[in-house]
Structure 1
């Protein structure tokens, strides 16, 4: 619709490009005029029967200047911007030839006005964006020369991924379509893990480097130092013990020699690599190399092994519990030493009692902990009480990340003898960290020794590193209890690493703590996500197993599930919408009153004019952390500022399909809003966000509570109104034309950024 036609030519000032008129506005609240000049250059008489602005808001209006017949028409559109951002509209012109039976036609021009703050200009791109393009794969005959790995890196597990698995994906559709059960447990997860690995291999290619130089490390001449921009931000993710492959850029004659270098140390923007003597002997300064990053398959290999061991050790009553073998047991009295407020928290107290009693065995006991309700403290106290109640108990405490494990360790040491706790680190861990399995004589982490490990009451490790306990020969049943904190953040095979081969299927007790309403594991493959790999064991049980669902009277069976209800983190205004949307309005506000109301009377909160100067000084702050929502899960801050990022309607469908971004991802919304204790500030596009019912509820709540300021999105013309107006026109638009017209509009609408603030005592929303 944007092309000139029928002899009609439409030009504009400013000049349009590709049917779109774009211009920048230097100052707010001053008019800016766009002129459309319409000329009939054809041989037939043409009537301009109709023209209008569509998808409008109060930022602009238009009027017509009439010229004598036979010359031209000029239409002016006037913009007056009151806010910074991108403001689109669509100009629609309808024409009809002056001939009997002629069919009307239309021409469309998109208009987009932009007003940027000085800070936005300063932070703008310095060069045109160049999307990454994956080069076509070309088989190359190579000779691989292995390098020197760090100590204690090798593993004897077999390689699972085969070329057949990649080539014959069509033959496994039946397996993917079947519900998960014990009969297909290992086969299905093998396949899903392969699908995820294939995507990981594709994704890591974007980090490959060409014509890079390396330098010899001054501290150790046997190591070469390679600069890797972004490595500190895990782009790419490189850990000690990983390997990279390099070849000389000048080598073009096949077979090409490829040298494998093992990572000995990761620094801010570089890695130190150990290569074979063959490369070191020919290495000279400024020699250029092509660099290929590789996957660390160790976690994947452990997951493959774990699902096989789950079948081998018959863990059906743990992974698919029926409840048939659950016996009625009395509730024990807890020993002294519990956290003070645990005694005043009935849900936490009951959870610890149930775990100590083993009320769910052999089925897992789930601690369903919404944000700020004290999941980790409940787990820590349960471990403490189990160790006191049963002198013969041996406990494995796991979490997906080292930081979560470190937190478990720190809190366990408050009421337990530190000599009873053994913290097992992987060899990729920074040697400067606190550790237990560090060998001073070898200057490296060592695999956990069976005899040493079995002496300790509590062993703390990540789920992946728990696989080393299986490899080290720890017998099945040695651990009477396995606790998994933040269990909702791990894929099921990763969680099973800490269970299969370690926990006795009949006598052991598995405890999973987490929140299925918060973010789950991070995956790359859309196929793996679609077919369930993104579902944690904790969430699968709560979704698909009746033992872990509410009964007819609206309560969980407390033998299997304890839902924590007291929120010790957030102000009630911050908690209100997540509580209603995700937790059936059951959460109770128990945050410290002084803490949660710290910013209720903040002088800058209701005064928009003074808000920007306050923010401008934030560049000097030292205690400011910037990261993704995933990085903040499990954490809290007095003040949280959230950028919703997505400002483009073009990507909303992709967000929905792949469950990414904020739109249509309720878990990301939930985590983002529930990190704040006192003040929450959200940055986003209200027009786009309101298309999602979750965000619409949140924004409407803030507007209702008079916590909204900025762009008035209530006057933005909706798509349904546009369709109604199109129906009244003379043009008979078919469905495809109508769809394309709406799509062209949304491409412009997608960039509408506006400014709004929502104030609910301690709740701020800025867009």
Structure 2
């Protein structure tokens, strides 16, 4: 229209309008605008309208009814039938008609109903919960019922809680406060939430209830991450107003504070009621402390006893308290003991075969008393001087970072890139540069670790860091956290800088040697840049090189050809510049999910139930391990709570009353020649169904046939709940504690989706290449897929490192994200079969695409949009940061797609190097954030039959196929609500037989069954060398050597042993001992290296022997203390035996390790240095 008007002023030959025509058009436009304003006012008025009506029920199906073929509503309070006359209130909100206050009218219908048009408004109502029935809460005042499944909430209320209701109420003009009928409860919030510091005053372990500061009630559901309270523990709690007996507050969450006083009171206690240190007139040599430097050698020592009394002394016996130690008494005793006359002396000869540092108590048993002496053998394993002082290097890194940041290279000769960037890209990746202001704040405070002054300046600059997460600040907060993490990387990468480095020629590369390259963090990876400059010329040009390969001690670099040709062995200063691609992809994902997913996925508060996405039947299955068999009740099409459109048929051919054994082979090989689309599929292994399971191309009803017949009850529940998908698009969570078959469950879900949803296209992601390879391998092993159905998308650097498993080579490919048609096809195949450079015309068309979260980010640059993949599946979601998870989730279409997250938020979370970013939320995975908020949060009252979780959203796997029952007990109680069930037999299993084989080196106990969970106390020392901030403990290392030596002697192979320690220096110390003895090395590494793995025997070295230095571990995110997730992973790797070696007095300062020692004492499995049980009571 405006173009027509403008054509009057700028005429062309085609214009036939006069001035009158133009005015008429303008007048008509104004009239339309007025009409639109009137329509908007009318719509707004209708939006807040209510009507009191009468009608007849014309449809009744389960809890869903229709009145007058128009008004549809759900109701489970009154029983309505077709033909009944009812009165009701209809109101308009969010563009829809809603129904409330439905009442049945008498047959004569003589009740007059005022059908006057009224209005409604939103108000707050303060009420109290007086009763709970599953997910329904009864409220007073008002005496009405709220279904938690149908409201927005921030927490799970219990009886006694005061809550703030957000309600829609009818405006009643005749009432003073205008408060009429409550039409709908929109949301519930806790009343007066507060964060407080307090002290545990009461705690009843049996009832699971306690009190903080004699005013705040709490139960076991409030305890976070395995914390078990003791009276006088200092805690931080989030409390709300609630009437719990004599208390007016209730704790929602409790986090322990560090408190060492309880331990320090006992640390220097030297006496015990069982023996004396001195008796008048009886002199015994002092405690013996020997420093030795050779192992595998016997050392002798003597205690001399002198009788200075006038009486005859009889020494009945002498013995060491720990019989499994290497100490022995050489002196022979007769049945009546040894006599010591007045004024005489007696020598008791002892020996120790030294293979490690050892300590033991020798007791001299006289007729009327006992005297004790301590014997300590310190095996000095170090070959270089070390210092107990803390290694300080942070300020030097900051200084180097400041100098590198301020230095601008005037002349930079570009190097040879690993992969040439295409000129034309479908969607170019934005830069997302690090804000200079943030960088300067970190440099200003000379610290990349958190401190009060730094935090204050950061939060004043970026208030989003401490604000509660909302959609409006979501993008700003995670952009800031990623910038902080990148700043840490920019600073920490300076450890690789060298002032005078010499390159080594190696074919087409120049190599640079870097000591301990594979063990340093952050790592140098393929694609990082190396800036080299002549150290002796200020005006020299700088040469840029790209890292093409990374070895154990060398990186392989390609500079410009001219530098390779002219280099003659001169020294160059070297600076490392990290590739920013990964950070840029994370930033891009954060921005995309805010627009694509919104608060529905990012900040869910309510389940809006949808119709089931599939219509299928299935055979009933039982929860066999429970005392009473639990089977699913038959559900009809209209059942809206759990199952949806499901029916069940009995099939007596299948016997499922046995517990399948799921070992390391979670899926066995099936005929790989079978086509996924073949109607006549047959299976080799009995674990798989022999029923034909073709892909359907029509919309008929399916029969759910299990690919893996060994699935247990909860695994099948997870698969079925995902297929039904009534809570879409909210992500479905598979909570898989250690050894519960999470991967098996995911594979079954993927195969069932492919079979039952023919149009599906799956994007399967994992945070690491190892996890992605495992998923792809299991899918290949299923025999259901062939290369055309599956692609394992890998980064080019993964190919260069030759890390792709041979089995996955035919399925693997790299991506070329150049715009389609912008250049000639660059697809080529390596000699090993890996396809390089697939563009969007090829790479995104497979039924299943598997890759790491970061690698899948390259699909954005190829122009793939949301909805291209119908299902997004993320394994090990608890190990990935939230921005990592958002890369695959950004492809989700919330209107038609489905997301599945699998993982365990109680194990190690994402690896975040910046302590500042970690403490402000980047260290919390999206999975953990979801599972701790409503509606995902645990509610045992509402969902008693599904371990407290809403089955529409979460399935918790509880059957453990890894560990002996006694090994599982502690972590089960601390982290998994005591709900895990071990399927390994305590006797007659392979694990039990292994334990019996080595019982002679284990602590003796009253039970016939050897202990499988041992704590060996060692009072050692932790040290540092001058060139490293890492720690090591020679005493613990030598004790580990003792156990390895004994295990090898008893026939245990190195493949069956894993050694976990949190410090690189301790890893080297243990390796050095084993290498000196020419022993085969078992697997030795950090907790991160062991996550997802299992070994028959695990030995754990805690290293720390000084509680004053534990705070450093917290600062750098290492060590076991005050890190329950790291502890949980370490304790759940063993199948038959775990031996924890550490200083009991140091680790007792930690609430979680305190429970470990207490558990071992109670189960007669503690050994080593003397401890006092009252310390742990």
Q: TM-score range by the shorter chain?
A: 0.7 to 0.9
- 1:364 equivalent in alignment to 2:631: no
Q: Which residue of 1 aligns with 2:709?
A: 340
Offset, 1:153 = 5.6
Question: Residue deviations 1:536-575, cap 9 Å, x none?
Answer: 0000001123334325345211000000000000011111
Structure 2 residue 818 is matched with structure 1 residue 532: no
Q: How does 1:355-754 map to 2 (within 5 A)?
A: 355-415=722-782, 416-419=784-787, 420-431=789-800, 432=802, 433=804, 434-435=808-809, 436-437=812-813, 439-440=827-828, 446-500=836-890, 502-553=891-942, 554=944, 555-591=948-984, 594-603=989-998, 605-606=1000-1001, 611=1043, 613-614=1045-1046, 619=1074, 624-656=1082-1114, 660-714=1118-1172
Q: Which has the higher contact order (CA 8 A, sep 6+)?
A: 1
Distance of aligned partners of 1:239 and 1:331 in 2 relative to their CA distance in 1, 3 Å threshold: farther
1:145: Cα distance to partner? Answer: 2.1
Partner of 2:430: 158
Q: Secondary structure at the match of 1:261?
A: strand
Q: Confirm or deny that 1:313 pairs with 2:702.
A: no
Displacement after TM superposition at 1:426 (Å): 0.7
2:512 is aligned with 1:226: yes
Instruction: Report the CA distance between 1:312 and its aligned residue.
Output: 2.1
Which residue of 263, 282, 293 corresponds with 2:576?
293
1:623 and 1:359 map into 2 onto residues whose CA distance is 51
| Inter-partner Cα distance in structure 2 for 1:641 and 1:319 | 40
Aligned-pair distance for 1:519?
0.6
**Which residue in 2 is equivalent to 1:753?**
none
Instruction: Determine if contact 1:394/1:481 at 8 Å carries over to the other structure.
Output: yes
Which residue is 1:751 aligned to? none
Task: Report the Cα distance in structure 2 between the residues aligned to 1:570 and 1:28, rounded to whole angstroms.
Answer: 41
Q: Distance in 1 between matches of 2:865 and 2:1044?
A: 61
Question: In structure 1, the residue corresponding to 2:1172 is in which secondary structure?
Answer: helix
Give deviations 1:425-455, integer Å, cap 9, x for gaps: 0111034324421554578864542221232
- How many angstroms does 1:648 deviate by? 2.0
Could you report, residue by residue, the CA deviation over 1:342-384 in whole angstroms, capped at 9, with x for unpaired residues?
1xx1111010011112232010100011110111111111001
Q: CA RMSD in A?
A: 3.2
- For the pair shown, which has the larger CA radius of gyration, 1 or 2? 2
Alpha-carbon distance, 1:689 to partner: 1.3
**Distance in 2 between residues matched to 1:86 and 1:710, nearest whole Å:** 8
Report the CA distance between 1:520 and its aligned residue.
Answer: 0.1
If the length of structure 1 is used for normalisation, what is the TM-score? 0.74
- 1:142-187, Cα deviation, whole Å (9 max, x unpaired): 2322211112467942321231342464543421111112111111
CA distance in 2: counterparts of 1:86 and 1:297, whole angstroms: 50
Structure 2 vs 1, CA of residues 234 and 472 (structure 1 numbering), >3 Å: closer, same or farther?
farther
Residue in structure 1 matched with residue 479 of structure 2 by the alignment: 190
Name the CA distance, whole Å, in 1 between partners of 2:1116 and 2:351.
35
C-alpha separation between the residues in 1 aligned to 2:1000 and 2:1148?
23
Distance 1:715 1:204, change over 3 A: same
Structure 1 contact 209–290 (Cα < 8 Å) conserved: yes
> Cα–Cα, structure 1 residues 562 and 215, in superposed 2: closer, same or farther, change >3 Å?
same
SS at match of 2:490: helix
Query: Corresponding residue for 2:645?
Result: 330
Which moved further from structure 2: 549-558 or 683-692? 549-558
Q: Which runs of 5+ in 2 are unaligned?
A: 1-288, 293-298, 305-349, 360-373, 442-457, 611-639, 648-701, 815-826, 1004-1038, 1055-1073
**Per the alignment, in what secondary structure is the counterpart of residue 705 of structure 2?**
coil
C-alpha separation in 2, matches of 1:441 and 1:460: 19
**Cα distance between partner residues in 2 of 1:520 and 1:29:** 50
More moved, 663-672 vs 169-178: 169-178
The aligned length equals 615
2:587 equivalent in structure 1: 304
State the alpha-carbon separation in 2 of the partners of residues 612 and 151 from structure 1.
47
Determine if contact 1:331/1:353 at 8 Å carries over to the other structure: no
2:926 and 2:1173 map into 1 onto residues whose CA distance is 46
Q: Which residue matches 1:74?
A: none
Q: CA deviation at 1:526?
A: 1.5
- Write the distance in 1 (CA, Å) between the matches of 2:387 and 2:766: 42
3-state SS, counterpart of residue 122 of structure 1: coil
**Displacement of 1:719:** 14
SS in 2 for 1:545: coil
Query: Comparing 164-173 with 142-151, which one deviates more in the overlay?
Result: 164-173
Per the alignment, residue 273 of structure 1 pairs with: 557
TM-score (norm 2): 0.49
Match of 1:249 among 525, 532, 535: 535
Q: Give secondary structure in 1 for the equivalent of 2:997.
A: coil
SS in 1 for 2:932: helix
Counterpart Cα distance in 1 of 2:499 and 2:959: 54
- Please report how far the alpha carbon of residue 682 of structure 1 lies from its aligned counterpart in structure 2 after TM superposition: 1.5
CA distance in structure 2 between the partners assigned to 1:249 and 1:647 by the alignment? 44
Structure 1 pair 296/445, CA: closer, same or farther in 2 (3 Å)? Answer: farther
1:680 deviates by 1.1
User: Residues of 1 paired with 2:837 and 2:472: CA distance?
Assistant: 33
1:140: which partner in 2? 407
